[in-house]
């Protein structure tokens, strides 16, 4: 994340302090600050270094299990985060981390996912999906579907309730969550009872108002998004596939969908537009815009209270929707 500011944009004071801490962390290693010159491998390494301090002092969980399920191209790794020792089947949130489909991991997003498990009381099944450009669209979606189908068929083995499954994710992970719902619907009735979508990539229009307003000094840039799309998609035809660009999807009959986005983010208008599309189709849910924070703020729980407020909101709304499905 960048630390520069624009005098015309209000930044939450806690976010400003987080910017300063990120700048300090960036002085501790020698990878270039300019993401555009990094290879995918270097970008992944940089994100792991950037996020290391932010993921320390994770809240304690009852149990953490690393496992895997069969996928279309081999085993798909899954980390199971148990908030409590289950005395009965737990509702489950299948979580997909962000990182432009290219970077990010179960470790870079660990602290936020721990809090999501604790706040929701759900088993969080975090998917270690294959990343681009080595695995292009739609591999990560197909792997996510494999995890959901495993939960439906054998969720009891994990202490999960197959009747209460939600999908959630941040940034590219939110995009994958919607893509997985569309793929599940294509294969038959979707078992997903709720969606939690955090500053997601929903459109391919890189000239929206928020792209124009926040490109440059903030956490995510237009150049970043162009690069991520290039790495992720196989070619121009994929831009017409609604699993890749959910703004082009028919969302009729979607499960209750709860969106949260950052007020200072090139992707803000993606959430605003996708929320409008969902509500026009009669999908229950709402959108919360968190003022003064930037893309990726979910990962800043050590310093930014709005990250906790966002996680609390997702946890509350998703579990309420799942309770309505399962009871």
Question: Considering 97, 109, 150, 171, which one is annotated as catalytic?
Answer: 171
Residue 90 DSSP class:
E
Separation of alpha carbons 273 and 60, rounded Å: 37
Contact call for residues 222 and 230 (beta carbons, < 8 A)? no
Contact call for residues 181 and 195 (beta carbons, < 8 A)? yes
Pairing mode, if any, of strands 63-71 and 74-82?
antiparallel
Is 240 exposed, middle or buried (CB count within 10 Å of its CB: 0-12, 13-18, 19+)? exposed
Taken in order 244, 44, 267, 115, the sign of the CA dihedral is: positive
> Which helix or strand (DSSP H or E) is residue 233 part of?
none
Pairing mode, if any, of strands 74-82 and 123-128?
antiparallel
Active site residue 271: no
Active site residue 227: no
Active site residue 97: no
Q: Give the Å distances, CA to CA, from 12 to 51, 140, 262.
A: 20, 34, 11
Question: Considering 50, 128, 170, 265, which one is annotated as catalytic?
Answer: 265
Separation of alpha carbons 233 and 133, rounded Å: 8
Separation of alpha carbons 163 and 326, rounded Å: 6
Q: Which two tokens stand for residue 124?
A: 């969080």
- Note if the bond before 160 is cis, omega within 30 degrees: no
> Which helix or strand (DSSP H or E) is residue 163 part of?
strand 160-170
Separation of alpha carbons 265 and 218, rounded Å: 7
Contact call for residues 320 and 308 (beta carbons, < 8 A)? no
Active-site amino acid positions: 171, 265, 295
């Amino acid at each position: 994340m960048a630390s520069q500011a624009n005098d015309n944009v209000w930044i939450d004071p806690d976010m400003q302090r987080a910017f300063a801490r990120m700048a300090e962390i960036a002085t501790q290693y020698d990878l270039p600050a300019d993401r555009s010159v990094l290879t995918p491998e270097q970008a992944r390494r940089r994100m792991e270094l950037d996020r290391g301090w932010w993921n320390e002092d994770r809240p304690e969980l009852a149990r953490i299990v690393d496992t895997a399920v069969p996928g279309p191209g081999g085993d798909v790794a899954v980390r199971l985060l148990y908030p409590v020792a289950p005395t009965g089947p737990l509702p489950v949130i299948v979580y997909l981390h962000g990182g432009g489909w290219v970077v990010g991991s179960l470790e870079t997003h660990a602290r936020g996912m721990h809090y999501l498990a604790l706040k929701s009381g759900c088993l969080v099944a975090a998917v270690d999906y294959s990343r681009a450009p080595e695995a292009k669209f739609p591999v990560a979606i197909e792997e996510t579907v494999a995890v959901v189908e495993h939960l439906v068929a054998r969720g009891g083995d994990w202490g999960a309730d197959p009747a209460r499954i939600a999908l959630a994710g941040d940034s590219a992970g939110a995009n994958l969550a919607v893509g997985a719902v569309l793929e599940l619907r294509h294969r038959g009735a979707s078992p997903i009872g709720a969606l939690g979508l955090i500053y997601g990539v929903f459109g391919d229009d890189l000239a929206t108002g928020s792209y124009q307003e926040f490109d440059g000094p903030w956490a995510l840039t237009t150049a970043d998004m162009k690069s991520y799309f290039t790495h992720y998609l196989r070619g121009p035809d994929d831009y017409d596939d609604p699993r890749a660009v959910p703004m082009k999807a028919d969302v009729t009959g979607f499960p209750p969908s709860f969106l949260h986005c950052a007020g200072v983010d090139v992707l803000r208008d993606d959430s605003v537009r996708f929320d409008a599309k969902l509500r026009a189709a009669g999908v229950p849910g709402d959108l919360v815009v968190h003022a003064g924070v930037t893309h990726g703020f979910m990962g800043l729980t050590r310093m930014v209270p709005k990250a906790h407020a966002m996680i609390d909101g997702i946890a509350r709304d998703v579990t309420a929707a799942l309770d309505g499905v399962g009871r």
